[in-house]
Structure 1
C-alpha cells in the first residue's frame, strides 16, 4: 500500500473553504479550489508520497503486478477509475459525456480529450444540488406553461410532443439573449426555479439557461448519490461530494461556461430517453455502504472502521473525516482527512480501523 499526494485543481466555480478544511489547510484558500483528484489520469496524476513518483508512471512499470490480471485484461495497463472530491460554490457547465463507442470515434476523428467514456457517480458530503437527466415531459410542459413566456412556445410544443431532443436543440440553438432575460425574470418569481434565475445571473444571455428548464432538479442529502451515465445531460449547482468515474476527462459542453462549447457534439451524443438521473441511497452491509452502478471499471463504497475490503484488483482509499488505519498483511497505512492511498492488487483483504470515514474505490468486474 502506498500513501499518495493528491492534486488540487483551481476553477472559478470552486470553494475557498471546503477542500482547505477537508485537508486541514489554511482557510480560506488564496483562490477557489474546485477538485481534489486521486488517481492516475495523465493530466494530473497523484504522486507516491515517499518518493514523488507519479502514480501513472509507477503503474506502468509493473501493470500486471499492481493492477492484477483481471483489471489488466479488461481495461489495459492503466488504472480504470478516477476518484475526486468536488467543491461547488458556483454552477458548473451544462455538459454530457459520450459512451464508449462515441468516445473512441470522437478521439480518433474529432479531437476528444480521451478515448474512453466518463460515466460517474457522486455521493453528497453536504447537501448537493444538481441538474441531472430530463424531467418527465408532462411536468416540463406544465412548468413552461406556468412561466408564461411566449418565446418558449416552440420548446413547449416539442416537449408536449415527446420530442425532448428537439426541445433541447431549440433551447440551445434558437434562444436569444432577450428570451433568456425573459426566462430569468419569470424564474425569479417562481421559488421552484430559483436555480434557473441564479444561472441567468451567472451566465446572462446563455442559451443553457433555457435548456436548464428541461432538466430534473435534484437536491441530494448527505449520503445520497446520483449516477450520471453516458449521454445524460447534467450541471452541478452547489455542494461538496465524492465522485468516482472512469479514468477519463471527456466532457462535451452545451453552455453555462466560459470554456469551449460544442452544441452539435452534445446533440449527437445526448440520450433523450434517459429521464431523470438515478438517485441512490446506497446498500448498507455493516460498516460498508455500496453505491451500485452498471460500469465494470468502478464501484464506490463508503467505508467505516471495521470494514473489510476484499482483495483483487487495484483500489484507492480516501479519508474524508477523522482518521483511518488500513492494514493488509503486515503493512499498515494511516490516513487523516483529505489523505489517500493506493492499494495494489492482492488477493488478501484489507481491514479498516480508526475513528474516521473513508471512500473506497475498486473495480467492478462482475458488472
Structure 2
C-alpha cells in the first residue's frame, strides 16, 4: 500500500472551501475544482508522500512553497506493471491504470459537454496527431486515445443536467414561454426532433443572438412555478443565464433532464451523453481519459461539428445506478463498462475486520472517520482526506474502523 497525494485542479468553476473542508483545512486561496487521484499523464498523483490528498502548497501557494519532486503513480506503476496492475489488467489495458478517480466540487456550472467512444477517440486522436496539433493546445479536442464513461457518486446534494428529455416533454417546457426563440424552437423540434433543435441552437447558421437567449431566460424567470411544466428547468435556465449571458447553452438546458443526487446516490454517463454538472461535491470515477467536447457554457474551446458527430441525441432518462450490497459494510456500483467499479464502505464497528472485494489495482479514499487497512502483510491507517493505492500484488484487502470510504477498482 502506498500513500497517495492527488493533483489539484484550480479551474474557475471550483469551490474554495469544499475540498479543503474535506481535509479539515480552511478555504484555499483560489478555487479547487478537482483533485485527481490517478496516473493520467495530464495530472498523475504522487506516491509515498504526505498525509492528505492535497499538498498545502496547492491550496495556499503564496504561503507554502512546493516540496521536492516526488515519484508519480504512473512512474511507480511503470517499474513493475504486472505487480502494480495484475497480469489480467495488463493483458486488457496495457501498462496504464485503466481508471481515474477524482473528487469534484463545482461551485459554478461546468461546460455543456460530451465524451467520445473508444473508436471516436482513437480516430480523433490520430487525426489531430497527423495534423500536428500540440497536445497542450487549447483547441485540441482529443488529449488521448481513450473513451471517458464516468460515474458521479454524490457526497452532498449534487445537481446536474444529463441527456435529453423526450420530444413531447421538451415541447411542453417551451410552450408557455413568451419568447420568439422558444416558439421557433418548438417548430424546429416538430420537424427535426431533439437533434434538430439542439443543432439549431449551436450551428453558426442558426445560432440565436445573445438578445434572443436573454429573452428566453427572462421568460423562464418570469413564469410562475405553479404554471410551469418544469419549474426546476426554469430555475436552471435563469441561473445559467446569469453566469453565461447570451450563451445558447442556456436554452439548450431546457432540452435536457435535470438531475438531483442525494448523498450516496450515483449517476452514470455513457459516451455521447450531453451533460453538465451544476453544483455540489462528488467522487467521480471514469476511464483514464481527459477527452472533452464542449457545446457551450464555457470560455474554453468549442468545436460544434465534432461535438455533433459524437453526440447521442436519443431521448433517455438519466442513468442512476443502485449499488449492489456485497456484505454488511460494502456496496458496489457496477457501471456498464469494464474500466472501473466503485464501492462504498461504511465501517461501524472498530473491532470487526471487513473484507473488501477486489484483487487488482485499487484506490481507497477515506471520506469520514478513520480506518485501519491491511493488505500484503502491511497495515496502514487513514483518516478523512487521505488515500492509498493498493497494488494487485498486495492481494486481499481488509479494513476496520468507524468511517466512510470509497474504493475504485477494475472489475
For normalisation by structure 2, the TM-score amounts to: 0.85
The residue number in structure 2 matching 1:283 is 324
Task: Note if contact 1:223-1:281 (Cα within 8 Å) is conserved in structure 2.
Answer: no
Q: How do 1:132-171 and structure 2 match up within 5 A?
A: 132-161=162-191, 163-171=193-201
The residue number in structure 2 matching 1:40 is 39
Aligned equivalents of 1:348, 1:257: Cα separation in 2: 44
Q: Which has the larger radius of gyration?
A: 2
Farther-moved stretch of structure 1 (88-97 vs 145-154):
145-154
| Superposition pairs of residues 4-15 of structure 1, within 5 angstroms | 4-15=4-15
Q: CA deviation at 1:329?
A: 3.6
2:141 maps to 1:99: no
5+ unaligned residues in a row in structure 1: which ranges? Answer: none
Residue 238 of structure 1 is matched in structure 2 by: 279
Hey, which bits of structure 1, 4+ residues long, moved more than 4 A?
none
Match of 1:127 in 2: 157
| Alpha-carbon distance in 2 for matches of 1:220, 1:87 | 14
1:314 aligns with 2:344: no
Report the alpha carbon displacement of residue 162 of structure 1 after superposing the two structures with TM. 6.6
Cα deviations by residue, 1:69-123 (Å, 9 ceiling, x for unpaired): 1110111100000000111110100000000100000101135111100000001
User: Structure 1 CA distance, aligned partners of 2:394 and 2:382?
Assistant: 22
**SS across alignment from 1:346:** helix
Q: Distance in 2 between matches of 1:36 and 1:129?
A: 19
SS of structure 2 residue aligned to 1:121: strand
Q: Deviations over 1:272-302 (max 9, x none)?
A: 1252320123223321121121110100111
Task: Work out the CA distance in 2 between the residues paired with 1:131 and 1:90.
Answer: 13
Structure 2 matches for 1:306-345, cutoff 5 A?
306-345=353-392
Q: Equivalent residue for 2:58? A: none
Contact 2:376/2:394 (8 A) holds in 1:
no
**Partner-residue secondary structure (3-state), 1:323:** strand
Return the offset for 1:154: 3.8
**Equivalent residue for 1:296, pick from 326, 338, 353:** 338
User: Residue 307 and residue 262 in structure 1: after superposition, are their counterparts in 2 closer, same or farther (change >3 A)?
Assistant: farther
Deviations 1:126-184 (A, max 9, x none): 00000001112111110000223222334223433572111110011222111111111
Residue 281 of structure 2 aligns to a residue whose secondary structure is: strand
Q: Alpha-carbon deviation of 1:49? A: 2.3
Q: Deviations over 1:317-367 (max 9, x none)?
A: 111111222111421121111111111113731112111111101112xxx
The offset of 1:307, in angstroms, is 3.7
Distance 1:239 1:328 in 2: 33
Q: Which of 78, 93, 109 is the aligned partner of 2:127?
A: 109
Distance 2:376 2:48 in 1: 21
8 Å contact kept, 1:232–1:274: no
Three-state SS of the structure 2 residue aligned to 1:123 is strand
**Change in CA separation of 1:311 and 1:177 when aligned onto 2, cut-off 3 Å:** closer
Tell me how far apart the structure 1 counterparts of residues 29 and 389 of structure 2 sit (CA, whole Å).
Answer: 29
What are the ranges of 5 or more consecutive residues in structure 2 without an aligned counterpart?
A: 50-68, 129-139, 224-230, 348-352
After TM superposition, give the deviation of residue 189 of structure 1 in Å. Answer: 2.2
- Note the 1:228-267 alignment, pairs <5 A: 228-267=269-308
User: Does residue 185 of the first structure (1) align with residue 215 of the second (2)?
Assistant: no
Asked if the contact 2:157–2:263 (Cα under 8 Å) also holds between the matched residues in 1, the reply is yes
Q: Take 1:218 and 1:292, find their aligned partners in 2: how far apart are those partners?
A: 20
Quick check: 1:30 aligned with 2:41? no
Structure 1 residue 37 displacement after superposition: 1.1
